[in-house]
């Protein structure tokens, strides 16, 4: 009976140490996440995760630019596409676009012609 109790104590200690480890690692990883602030009327590029499934290391993985129409409290962002289509995406999948409007039109044409 003593051996069974010792085994239970070892399991409990292992569980506690693993939960402490998980909490510390979550804190470490959350500290590295960059908070991206977007506001309506910003121009952003959208990361195309579907290109990761196919080979083509020279393909451009960012599409856009898109215009932000609404930012939700859950960090979701509503974008408007070139054909006036509204859609929602995760805010971590976008980055700010700093180009001029003329560059944006040529970028859209080259990206959508490749797809």
> Tens place of pLDDT for every residue, the chain, 115 residues?
778 888 889 999 999 999 999 999 999 998 887 777 888 888 999 888 765 566 666 777 888 789 999 999 888 999 998 888 888 998 888 888 887 766 555 444 444 444 4
DSSP β-bridge partners for residue 28: none
Pairing between β-strand 43-47 and β-strand 62-71 as defined by DSSP bridges? antiparallel
Tokens of 45: 């590029």
- Contacts of 47 by beta carbon, 8 Å cutoff, 6+ apart: 61, 62, 93, 94, 95
pTM over 0.75? The answer is no
Distance CA 86, CA 70 (A): 10
């Amino acid at each position: 009976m003593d051996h069974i109790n010792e085994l239970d104590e070892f399991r409990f200690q292992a569980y506690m140490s693993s939960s402490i480890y998980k909490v510390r690692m979550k804190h470490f990883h959350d500290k590295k996440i960059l908070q991206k602030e977007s506001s309506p009327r910003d121009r952003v590029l959208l990361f195309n995760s579907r290109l990761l499934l196919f080979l083509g290391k020279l393909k451009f993985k960012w599409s856009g630019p898109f215009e932000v129409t609404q930012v939700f409290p859950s960090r979701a962002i509503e974008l408007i596409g070139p054909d006036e289509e509204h859609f929602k995406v995760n805010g971590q999948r976008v980055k700010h676009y700093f180009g001029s409007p003329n560059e944006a039109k040529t970028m859209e044409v080259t990206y959508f012609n490749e797809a």
